[in-house]
Amino acid sequence: MIDKDLVQIKVAGPNATVVTLPAPTNMSLSLMELLKGNGYPIQATCGGMALCATCHVCVLEGYEQVGEPASDAEWAMLDSLFNTTDTSRLACQVRIGHACDNMLVKILGDT
Partner 1 sequence: MITTDICIVGAGPVGLFAVFEAGLLGMRCHLIDVLTQPGGQLAEIYPKKPIYDIPGYPVVLAGELIQRQLEQIAPFKPTWSLGEKATDLQKNPSGDFLITTSGGNQIQAKILVIASGLGVFEPRKPPISSLDDFENKGVDYFVKNPDAYKGKKLVLAGGGDSALDWTIFLADIAAELTLVHRSSRFRAAPDSVEKVMALSQSGKVRLMLDANVTEVHGNGRLNKVVVSNKDGWPTHLDTDYFIPLFGLRPELGPLAQWGLNMDGEAIKVDNTLDYQTNIPGVYAIGDINTYPGKLKLILCGYHEAALMAQSAWKRLHPNSMFNMKYTTVNGINGF
Residue among 52, 60, 99, 107 that touches partner 1 (CB under 8 A): 52
**Span from 17-25, 44-52, 55-63, 93-101 in contact with partner 1 (CB under 8 A):** 44-52
Instruction: Give 23 or 44: the residue with its C-beta nearer to partner 1.
Output: 44
CA distances from 102 to 37, 47, 72, 86, 94 (A): 18, 25, 26, 19, 14
Strands 103-107 vs 88-90: parallel, antiparallel or unpaired? unpaired
| Helix H or strand E segment including 35 | helix 31-37
In the complex, what is the shortest distance from the CB of residue 85 to partner 1, in angstroms, rounded to a whole number?
A: 12
75 binds partner 1 (CB under 8 A): yes
CB 95 within 8 A of CB 67: yes
Contacts of 62 (CB under 8 A, 6+ apart): 100, 101, 102, 103, 104
- Residues that contact partner 1, how many (by CB under 8 A): 19
Residue 84 makes contact with partner 1 by CB under 8 A: yes
For the bound state, the minimum distance from the C-beta of residue 12 to partner 1, rounded and expressed in Å, comes to 22
Chain contacts with partner 1 (rule: CB under 8 A)? 43, 45-47, 49, 51-53, 72, 75-77, 79-82, 84, 110-111
